[in-house]
């Protein structure tokens, strides 16, 4: 299996773990009641900032670990990690679909705000849109790598 395909699976894993952990923390541990009242926006901001910082940190750590594992165990060389024109085109196409999903989600969230949804649900619908855009990007990559561009 090419390194690019492996890293796509790793990204799916890290994105899912990150967003499941976020959902568990916000809805399970803290509870919706924590995000109501005068400090609601501050609490939501903290939760989303933590999601972004910890999510990226987790992703970077996992990618490094998988990269080192690949070099040590599978004897991957520098060439295996090199991206060529096909990888770039697959990347652009996946970003295109990711962008469409993200923009649709953001516009729907703005619409929900106009309909009177609380800030908590609007922010979380934006987070969901972000997650779905990541899923759309990675699913497109998997599809194009397997089926061809």
Return the residue of 33, 73, 79, 114 that touches other proteins, per CB under 8 A.
79
Note whether 82 binds other proteins by CB under 8 A.
Answer: yes
Minimum distance, C-beta of residue 86 to other proteins, in the bound complex (Å) = 4
Nearer to other proteins, 3 or 134 (CB): 3
Q: Is 77 in the site for other proteins (CB under 8 A)?
A: no
Place of tokens 């855009």: 133
Distance CA 87, CA 47 (A): 34
Does residue 147 interact with other proteins by CB under 8 A? yes
Half-sphere exposure of 96 (CA within 13 A, CB side): 8
Q: How far is the CB of 73 from other proteins (least distance, A)?
A: 20
Q: How far apart are CA 4 and CA 26, in angstroms?
A: 33
| Only segment of 21-29, 42-50, 54-62, 75-83 that touches other proteins (CB under 8 A) | 75-83
H or E element: which one contains 146?
helix 119-147
Given a contact cutoff of 8 angstroms between Cβ atoms, the answer to whether 76 and 20 are in contact is: no
Taking the least distance from each CB to other proteins, the nearer of 59 and 80 is 80
Q: How far is the CB of 1 from other proteins (least distance, A)?
A: 10
d(CA 114, CA 124): 15
Stretch that binds other proteins, among 59-67, 76-84, 107-115, 130-138 (CB under 8 A): 76-84
**What is the number of other CB atoms lying within 10 angstroms of the CB of residue 85?**
7
59 binds other proteins (CB under 8 A): no
| Cα 66 to the center of its chain, rounded Å | 18
Here the tokens at position 127 are 């987070």
Question: In the complex, which residues of this chain contact other proteins (CB under 8 A)?
Answer: 2, 4, 79-80, 82, 84-87, 145, 147-149
């Amino acid at each position: 299996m090419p390194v690019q395909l492996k890293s796509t699976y790793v990204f799916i894993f890290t994105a899912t773990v990150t967003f499941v952990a976020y959902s568990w923390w916000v809805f399970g541990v803290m509870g919706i009641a924590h995000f109501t009242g005068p400090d609601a926006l501050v609490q939501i901001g903290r939760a989303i900032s933590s999601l972004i910082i910890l999510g990226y940190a987790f992703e970077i750590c996992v990618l490094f670990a998988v990269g080192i594992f690949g070099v040590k165990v599978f004897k991957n060389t520098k060439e295996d990690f090199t991206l060529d024109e096909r990888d770039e085109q697959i990347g652009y196409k996946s970003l295109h679909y990711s962008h469409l999903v993200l923009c649709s989600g953001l516009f729907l969230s703005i619409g929900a705000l106009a309909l009177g949804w609380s800030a908590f649900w609007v922010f979380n619908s934006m987070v969901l849109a972000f997650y779905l855009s990541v899923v759309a990007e990675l699913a497109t990559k998997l599809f194009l790598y397997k089926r061809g561009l």
